[in-house]
């Protein structure tokens, strides 16, 4: 009797173990299916985060970038004139600088100012008024004025403060001067 009871008890406990295993597997599968439907898998996305491009820590007060700092400039005409008197062109108009400026001019400026700076780019008449860079007024402006215009923009002209480096902007000034000299030479020989 005892033997039989033990035998039955043994089978019974095995059966319970298996049914528990199957039940938990089933429950696991059931939960996994629903877990996918719940918005749990995007909580990495919704975590607190810094906006793209913001520094984790602001720079120490009065720290200066290794490329140096520029005096404040704005697109206001009076400010650009002031910059013209204050800022000196540090880039020698070497063939290298002019060549670099030419490449940049084709990419960033020719669509409005035209390849030769005559104010006949493809955008003229559509969204922007024409701006000839060979006029006497612009030829007589200081390098710093041209630089400030490229850096901070004009009334219509966009600012290139973030798109171009300081050196690239001075190379562009040198190239605009080069175009003006070429233009003046051509005008004289006509």
Nearest distance in Å: CB 184, ligand HEC: 15
List the one residue from 97, 149, 152, 174 that touches ligand HEC (CB under 6 A).
Answer: 149
Here the tokens at position 16 are 């319970």
Q: Is 155 in the site for ligand HEC (CB under 6 A)?
A: yes
Residue 112 makes contact with ligand HEC by CB under 6 A: yes
Question: Least separation, in Å, of the C-beta of 187 and ligand HEC?
Answer: 18
**117 Rama sector, left if φ>0, alpha if ψ -120 to 50, beta otherwise:** left
DSSP state of 190: -
Under rule CB under 6 A, residue 159 binds ligand HEC: no
Crossing angle of helices 143-152 and 77-86, rounded to 10°: 130
CB of 106 within 8 A of CB of 185? no
Residue from 74, 84, 120, 158 that binds ligand HEC (CB under 6 A)?
Answer: 158
Is residue 150 a contact point for ligand HEC (CB under 6 A)?
yes
Residue carrying the six token digits 């923009």: 153
């Amino acid at each position: 009797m005892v033997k039989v009871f033990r035998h039955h008890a043994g089978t019974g406990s095995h059966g319970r173990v298996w049914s528990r295993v199957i039940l938990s597997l089933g429950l696991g599968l059931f939960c996994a299916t629903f877990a996918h439907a719940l918005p749990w898998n995007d909580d990495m996305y919704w975590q607190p985060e810094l906006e793209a491009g913001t520094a984790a820590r602001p720079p120490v007060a009065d720290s200066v970038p290794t490329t140096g700092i520029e005096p404040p400039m704005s697109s206001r005409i009076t400010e650009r004139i002031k910059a013209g008197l204050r800022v000196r062109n540090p880039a020698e108009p070497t063939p290298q600088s002019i060549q670099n400026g030419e490449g940049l001019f084709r990419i960033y400026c020719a669509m409005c100012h035209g390849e030769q700076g005559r104010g006949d780019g493809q955008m003229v008449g559509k969204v922007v008024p024409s701006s000839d860079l060979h006029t006497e007024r612009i030829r007589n402006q200081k390098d710093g004025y041209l630089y400030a215009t490229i850096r901070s923009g004009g009334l219509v002209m966009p600012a290139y403060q973030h798109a171009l480096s300081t050196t690239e902007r001075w190379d562009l000034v040198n190239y605009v001067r080069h175009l003006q000299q070429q233009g003046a030479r051509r005008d004289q020989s006509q």
